Amino acid sequence: MEYHKVKMVIDREYPIAQVDERIYGSFIEHLGRAVYDGIYCPEHGSADEDGFRNDVKELIRELNVPIIRYPGGNFVSSFNWEDSVGPFNERPRRLDLAWRSLEENKVGLNEFTKWARSAGSDVMMAVNLGTRGIADACNLLEYCNHPGNSKYSDLRISHGYKEPHNIKTWCLGNEMDGPWQIGHKTMEEYGRLAEETARAMKIIDPDIELVACGSSYLTIPTFPDWEAVTLKHAYDYVDYISMHQYYGNQKGDSQDFLASSDDMDQFIRTVIATCDFVKAQKRSKKDIKISFDEWNVWYHSNAADDDITKNHPWQVAPLMLEDIYNFEDALLVGLMLITLLKHADRVKMACLAQLVNVIAPIMTEAKGGKAWRQTIFYPFMHASQYGRGTALVPVLSSPKFDTSGHEDVTAVEAVSVYNEELHEVTIFAVNRDLKKDAEMTVDVRSFEGYRVLEHVVLENDDLKAENGPFCERVAPKQTSQSALDGYIMTSTLHKASWNVIRLGK
């Protein structure tokens, strides 16, 4: 059988950067069944005293998610945060304009913050810069972070939360470049609003980190002018620019679909270049970092979502954006994780969108049924578990091919992460060729005395194979496809496979 011949060198002396653990963040929006019937279901047998599902929480802990973006998303651009706090019987039912749903506010800011901490996560809070502005953002920050003896901090205390939440990461709106957004702004309008909101918020709490809205996707007409203009105004006060991107195999061309991560790589490179252009203009010494706070595969549910919003509006927690992922989706998620790690010097936060039920790695059966792992759960879990440490420069030589929409696509994409504390190095690799296996030789001479701990693979002969609550067709397995001889490791990477190769002492 003909193999691709792939060569890789990894060396602890050539780091990209320390991986910020927040690169393995996620996202929960008040959308569909993400909150209600997702993380929160008082009638479920596993529900805790606050009504949150412990079975879902345990799966989230498996993923080891360090930060969760909340409460949106498009939802935040018409959200009045005051509706979500205080006595339950006084909270109003509100029309959510983003998704044409009915929000009952049974889960609000305080409940979510408490739940996130119990799941091992910090909160990345988004403020409404669509229908609201500077004053409301400052009031929310005061409510969350000020210790007391002021109007909104005392209001929090009266609601039973004496200690401040100390939320340290804040998004200045959501996708404000998008005409679909409630309160959509021009780039000049948003840049000025972001600057003044950021300046005011940092007066209240100088220790917070702020994320300005970048472009909602690579091909939006205002990219990359949006980033340049926004940062022209807000550069001195913000710490991150956001990126959002989803991919889907709408054409039914799986080989081209798996090349989508190349577009993600180019998107990141262009944003970095734009940030550094503004840095040069301002003669600044500060680097703007990237928060890739929405990324995933999303396309399976589009027609159903449109029908609900157009023809069946104002439901409570309707079944929306419930993509059931297949094996090829898991491969692309793995490729996107590799891309994020290759840019660990500038991508410091990222949020898989979303976490439960809504385009998510974790699904629950409706009305209190079982929680289960989607195909994309596994590459994310592997990266979160073993991708902590220092990302190393991937010196990789791989055959290339063209697809229907991309040129010079590498057959194999790979990156490695060195965990000095544990004396381990992990290689994440995807063979995205659908026809040929690959033989990868890796020079590991800088890791003298290491041995192969394990080689885990995710593969399936059916690219469309899916998981379900009672049938897990796509799951990782141990293999013996890697062997070390001296300082050269040889690994077999089967066609269309996600591989996790761990070496240690």
Amino acid of residue 252: G
Nearest to 130 by CA among 175, 171, 182, 188: 182
Which DSSP state fits 286?
Answer: P
In whole angstroms, what is the distance from residue 424 CA to residue 386 CA?
9
Handedness of CA 388, 65, 198, 281 (dihedral sign): positive
CA distances from 309 to 180, 304, 319 (A): 13, 9, 11
Annotated catalytic, 195? no
- Contacts made by residues 203-206, CB under 8 angstroms, sequence distance 24+: 204/138, 204/141, 204/142, 204/145, 204/146, 205/141, 205/145, 205/146
Amino acid of residue 417: V
Record the tokens describing residue 294, joined without a space. Answer: 């929405």
Which DSSP state fits 19?
Answer: P
Chain centroid to Cα 251, Å, comes to 24
395-397: strand order across its sheet: 395-397, 4-9, 438-443, 488-493, 482-485
Candidates 29, 175, 227, 328; catalytic one: 175
In whole angstroms, what is the distance from residue 265 CA to residue 263 CA?
5
Residue 370 CB burial class (10 angstroms; 0-12, 13-18, ≥19): exposed
Query: Dihedrals φ, ψ of 97, to 5°?
Result: -75, -25
Contact residues for 103 (Cβ-Cβ < 8 A; gap 6+): 30, 75, 83, 93, 94, 95, 96, 316
Annotated catalytic, 454? no
Candidates 29, 103, 142, 294; catalytic one: 294
* Active-site residue set: 175, 294
